[in-house]
Amino acid sequence: MIQRSVCGHLLRGGPTLGSYMSKIGVGYFVTQAVTSVQEACESSSYSPMDDEYGGMKWDNLGFGLMKTDYMYTMKCGKDDKFKQGELSRYGNIELSPSAGVLNYGQLEQGLFEGTKAYRREDGGLFLFRPQENAIRMQIGAHRMCMPSPSVHQFVDAVKQTALANRRWIPPPGKGSLYIRPLLIGSGPILGLAPASEYTFLVYASPVGNYFKEGTAPLNLYVEDEFHRAARGGAGGVKSITNYAPVLKALSRAKDRGFSDVLYLDSVNKRNIEEVSSCNIFMLKIEILLVKKSQ
């Protein structure tokens, strides 16, 4: 059951999260997250015996969109707070042609997250630190002048979506259920300003490895022409504006036989920043070589 999913994960953020938290109040977000962790760790009514697999050939599962059963939706006004959302059958959503995310999405009013649900050997399900995704969305919403769900609302929506689509969670070792929370400015707007309405929605899709190489090493292209983010921009939050601009560099790298792109800083073009689709960590091992005396 999804009851101990986040208990074993301490709240911790990298430099980017830390810098934003120090500006807007880390205590507020951490207090929300601790409360949410306690509630998410309570027992659910889910029983592994209720499961039915989605009839998939799990051995051939890649990283692509697959229609599942349900999605979760919640709305609020510009100066309001999110109220109780609801599950509905997965399907298209209706947007005004003048919706903020469609007209000014490249500047603001669009955030997304990504987390996963896994199946254990005993049939139980667990989530991977959804409270941290909730905090990151709140930080991004603050940067983009958007209201955001509370940590409790975010975690509850992710949990409900996972349970409603539990038959699409692959067997252990075969993949996971990728869960995509979105926060968009869905209200109509003509001038450059925050939208009048916001929609938080969550959908899911079973996935395997993101890269075709699986767990094998990746072949990265070091990009020195295009940049992922610039100082003072929105590179520190998970905004939709950070992704479309990398498609040109990514397409060029793949045409040359590379797995992905490794970006350098936009100022000096020497410091490593990140990869198109993931973070990157460097481990430096210092080795002291001592020459033997003759």
User: Active-site residue 292, yes or no?
Assistant: no
| Selected catalytic residue, list 57, 81, 238, 269 | 238
For residue 94, how many other CB atoms are within 10 A of its CB? 6
| Active site (catalytic) residues | 238
